[in-house]
Amino acid sequence: MSSSSNVKLEESWLDRLSDEFESDYFQQLKVFLQLEKKTGKTIYPPGNQIFAALDACPFEKVKVVILGQDPYHGPGQANGLCFSVHEGVKHPPSLINIFKELQTDLGLNYPRSGDLSSWASQGVLLLNATLTVEARKAGSHQNKGWERFTDRIVELLNTERENLVFMLWGGYAKRKGKHINTSKHLVLQSGHPSPLSANKGHWFGNQHFSKCNLYLEQNGIEPVDWKLN
C-alpha cells in the first residue's frame, strides 16, 4: 500500500477514496503496518485481501452493507470479507449464529461453506471497521486509522446512494452507522451474532435477512439470494 496511484483497488472505489490514501492519517497507518511486518508479526488478512470487500462489490452495485468490527485473528480465517471464511475453514462462532438465523428466518439449510463471496457478488458489502489485525490479538489494529477510512466508505454510500440496507450488529456497528440517513436508507439493528450477545437473546429472531429482501423488493431492487452451498 502506498499512494493512490499504485493502490490495487476496484476502480469505482479507488476514484472515491484517492484522497484518503494520500492523507496524513493513512500514511501513518501504512508506516504502522510496515513496522509490524518488519518486526516479524503476522498480519491478517494477507495483503492482497485487505481490500477484498471493496474489490468484490463496486460502489454502484452495493445494495446491502453488513458492518463487522475486526478481521478474524486465527490462522487461515480472515479473507477480507467480514464474518466470511474460505471454503473448508471451520465456521467461527459468530458465523454459526448468522447461519442459524438464516435457517429460522428464511428456512434455508445450514451451509457447508462459510465463504460469503456469493453475497458480495450480489451487492452485499461485507465491511469490517478495521481491515487488518495481528495474529491471535483481537482488536490489535484498532485506533490506527482504519476506522476513519471505513467511516468515509459508509459516508460515501450514505450520501451518494439511496435505498441501501445497512445491517448494524452490536454496539460497535451501531455507533459506526449512527449518521446514516434513515429517510433514504433502511437501517436494521440488533445485537451481535457472537455467542456472548446471541445467547442473551439479542441476536436470534431479528429477521434481518427477510426484512432486507422485503425492503429491496419494495424499492424495485433485486433481492439477495442468501442461500450458500
Residues designated catalytic: 70
Between CA 85 and CA 80 the distance in angstroms is 9
Q: Which amino acid is at 182?
A: T
Q: Which amino acid is at 106?
A: L
Between CA 163 and CA 64 the distance in angstroms is 9
**Quick one: how many helices (H) and strands (E) in the chain?**
9, 6
- Reduced 3-state DSSP string for 17-63: HHHHHHCHHHHHHHHHHHHHHHCCCCEECCHHHCCHHHHCCCHHHCC
